[in-house]
């Protein structure tokens, strides 16, 4: 073939240099097809990862900028204020129960008075029975009458004992409620105002923490958008690889044209050497221009990737906060808040229970007062019966005469002590009315409403903070993971970005080898052979720079074919041309 004819007809040095250039060019082209595609794929995934990270950051910022945290902080403040008002409500409720207990003590005194009066009445009733037995004129009628008096008084004692038992049960319930109120007061003294103060402080800390995350999120989001922009620029600049590959192939095509030139067979060795020197000069110029553009763009891309990788610490601050490595983890804020809220809930629940117990005690006191009134009224009815019997006894004694006088004296005393019983019973009724009025008085609705409202505000606030915290922490972890993936891909891209050694060195060596066999000899006499070769080579160009270099090198030749736009368009049909 012509290839072997030309190869062996040139000097050994030019043949070796041409073969060395071929090997260097093929190595550079292979590296471009492998490494540039790999780095381009990594950087494309970095852009996708950055977009996903920006989406996560935007969602997190929207959650942080919402009204949930502000509403929760406001509710915690309201709950804290209501908790501080609880001691005053407890004092009012305790005073109410203490008043009922004191009234119960007064009732106990009334019962004791009535018991003593009944005891006297029983003594006088027994005396009437004994005395009437010694008066013959009285007959059995007095004995029967005296027994009725004793039976009536005994019924009164039974009713009074039941009264005292009921009052004792009521007193026990009231005192138990009062003891519970005293315990609640001690617990309030121990937890207030420490718990509401802690709630306010922790809600402020949570708001500050989330505001800090919002600031970091905004900074990282801005940084990530800048990274994505820079990577987009780097991806565009990576097309230098495709440009360089095409220009290498064009130089390879030029070497093939030289090796297969049939017209050069009839040339002398000296002419063929001049043709080869000029052709190597043109190809060396094309390759030098290619190498210059490659070095410039690769240096710029490498600097951009290195600069982007240097921003990794800022992006990874998200991971520090997600793992609690920031100022303080949001989870610990929530745990501290839940501890304080738990204490507040326990106190509010106990106060609610105390309110129910106090209300039950008041209701029992009211019911008991109504029942006791019925019992006192029965004792009053018994007193009226005894007085009537005593009056009848006095009248009968007057008919009997002198022998009935002792019995009449006893009947008078019986009537007098029955009157004392009436006085005690009336005082007891008055006291019972006081008990019922106090028990039926409106309960501490304000204090009860305050405890209920505090519990509701606490529950709503914690639910809001937990929901927001879970959402933000979830987005934070997701964003941190995506940020770490972006940084890892950037580092991998930077590690693989050694194009100067993998491609640039091969280009430089190929240029040097072609330049060593290039020459400045006159080739005007060789234009009949050279002109078709130049025209064929020119039609392969797809870059403006190639045509400019071609024009510069061939400017002094007598017959130089021009490269038309139609030629470039025709060549572009066979190439994957982007430039």
User: For residue 250, what pLDDT band results from cuts at 50, 70 and 90?
Assistant: very high
Q: Using CA atoms, how far apart are residues 23 and 500, in angstroms rounded to an integer?
A: 17
Angle at 29 between CA 28 and CA 33, to 5 degrees: 120
Q: What is the pLDDT of residue 335?
A: 63
Q: Using CA atoms, how far apart are residues 370 and 131, in angstroms rounded to an integer?
A: 40
Residue 561 has pLDDT above 80, yes or no: no
Q: What is the pLDDT of residue 539?
A: 93
Q: Which of 266-270, 337-341, 360-364, 535-539 is least confident? A: 337-341
Q: Which of 261-270, 333-342, 540-549, 553-562 is least confident? A: 333-342
Segment 441-449 shows an average pLDDT of: 56
Q: Using CA atoms, how far apart are residues 288 and 285, in angstroms rounded to an integer?
A: 5
User: For residue 323, what pLDDT band results from cuts at 50, 70 and 90?
Assistant: very low
User: For residue 278, what pLDDT band results from cuts at 50, 70 and 90?
Assistant: very high
pLDDT digits (tens, 9 = 90+) for 44-59: 777 777 777 777 777 7
Backbone angles phi, psi at 66, to 5 degrees: -70, -175
Q: Using CA atoms, how far apart are residues 417 and 117, in angstroms rounded to an integer?
A: 6
pLDDT digits (tens, 9 = 90+) for 529-553: 899 999 999 999 998 999 999 999 9
If you search the block for the tokens 């609640």, which residue do you land on? 184
Q: What is the pLDDT of residue 172?
A: 82
Any residues with CB less than 8 A from the CB of 3 and at least 6 apart, and which? 259, 260
Residue 515 has pLDDT above 80, yes or no: yes
Q: What is the pLDDT of residue 467?
A: 73
Q: Using CA atoms, how far apart are residues 340 and 346, in angstroms rounded to an integer?
A: 10
User: What Cα–Cα distance (Å) separates residue 286 from each residue in 212, 255, 337, 428, 511?
Assistant: 56, 12, 72, 125, 9
Q: What is the pLDDT of residue 469?
A: 67
If you search the block for the tokens 């066999």, which residue do you land on? 517
Q: Is pTM, for the whole model, over 0.85? A: no
Q: Which residue has the higher pLDDT, 383 or 513?
A: 513
User: What Cα–Cα distance (Å) separates residue 210 from each residue in 66, 67, 331, 345, 389?
Assistant: 11, 12, 11, 25, 89
Segment 501-521 shows an average pLDDT of: 84
Residue 568 has pLDDT above 80, yes or no: no
Domain ranges of the chain: 2-64+209-323+477-525, 68-192+330-451, 526-579
Q: What is the pLDDT of residue 137?
A: 63
Whether residue 413 contacts residue 176, with contact meaning beta carbons closer than 8 Å, is answered with no
Whether residue 455 contacts residue 349, with contact meaning beta carbons closer than 8 Å, is answered with yes
User: What is the torsional sign of CA 514, 517, 520, 521?
Assistant: negative
């Amino acid at each position: 073939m012509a290839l072997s004819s030309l190869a062996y007809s040139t000097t050994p040095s030019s043949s070796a240099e041409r073969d060395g250039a071929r090997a260097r060019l093929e190595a550079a082209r292979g590296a471009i097809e492998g490494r540039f595609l790999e780095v381009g794929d990594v950087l494309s995934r970095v852009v996708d990862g950055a977009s996903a990270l920006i989406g996560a950051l935007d969602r997190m910022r929207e959650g942080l900028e919402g009204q949930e945290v502000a509403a929760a902080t406001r509710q915690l403040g309201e709950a804290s204020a209501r908790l501080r008002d609880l001691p005053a409500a407890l004092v009012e409720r305790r005073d109410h129960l203490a008043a009922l207990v004191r009234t119960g003590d007064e009732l106990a005194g009334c019962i004791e008075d009535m018991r003593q009066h009944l005891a006297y009445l029983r003594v006088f009733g027994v005396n009437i029975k004994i005395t009437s037995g010694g008066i013959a004129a009285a007959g059995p009628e007095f004995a029967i009458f005296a027994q009725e008096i004793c039976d009536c008084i005994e019924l009164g004692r039974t009713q009074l004992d039941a009264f005292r038992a009921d009052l004792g049960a009521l007193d026990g319930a009231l005192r138990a409620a009062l003891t519970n109120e005293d315990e609640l007061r001690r617990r309030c003294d121990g937890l207030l105002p420490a718990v509401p103060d802690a709630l306010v402080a922790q809600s402020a800390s949570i708001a500050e923490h989330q505001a800090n995350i919002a600031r970091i999120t905004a900074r990282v989001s801005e940084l990530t958008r800048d990274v994505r922009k820079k990577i987009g620029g780097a991806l565009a600049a990576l097309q230098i690889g495709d440009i360089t590959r095409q220009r290498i192939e064009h130089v390879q095509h030029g070497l093939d044209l030289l090796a297969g030139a049939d017209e050069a067979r009839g040339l002398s060795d000296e002419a063929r050497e001049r043709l080869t020197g000029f052709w190597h000069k043109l190809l060396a110029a094309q390759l030098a221009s290619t190498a210059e553009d490659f070095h410039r763009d690769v240096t710029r891309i490498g600097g951009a990737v290195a600069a982007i990788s240097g921003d990794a610490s800022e992006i990874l601050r998200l991971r520090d906060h997600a793992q609690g490595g920031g100022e303080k983890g949001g989870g610990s804020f929530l745990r501290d808040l839940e501890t304080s809220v738990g204490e507040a809930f326990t106190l509010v629940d106990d106060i609610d229970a105390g309110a129910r117990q106090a209300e039950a005690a008041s209701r029992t006191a009211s019911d008991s007062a109504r029942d006791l009134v019925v019992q006192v009224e029965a004792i009053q009815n018994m007193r009226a019966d005894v007085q009537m019997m005593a009056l009848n006894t006095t009248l009968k004694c007057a008919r009997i005469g002198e022998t009935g006088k002792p019995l009449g004296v006893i009947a008078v005393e019986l009537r007098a002590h029955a009157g004392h019983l009436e006085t005690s019973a009336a005082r007891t009724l008055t006291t019972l009315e006081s008990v019922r009025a106090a028990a039926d008085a409106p309960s501490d609705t304000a204090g009860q409403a305050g405890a209920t409202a505090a519990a509701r505000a606490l529950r709503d606030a914690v639910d809001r903070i937990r929901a927001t915290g879970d959402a933000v922490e979830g987005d934070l972890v997701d964003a941190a993971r995506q940020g770490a993936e972006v940084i890892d891909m950037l580092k991998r891209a930077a590690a693989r970005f050694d194009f100067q050694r993998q491609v640039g060195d091969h280009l430089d060596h190929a240029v040097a080898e072609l330049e060593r066999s290039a020459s400045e000899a006159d080739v005007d006499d060789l234009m009949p052979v050279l002109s078709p070769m130049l025209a064929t080579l020119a039609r392969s160009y797809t870059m403006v720079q190639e045509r400019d270099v071609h024009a510069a090198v061939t400017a002094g030749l007598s017959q130089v074919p021009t490269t038309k736009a139609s030629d470039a368009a025709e060549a572009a049909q066979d190439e994957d041309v982007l430039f």
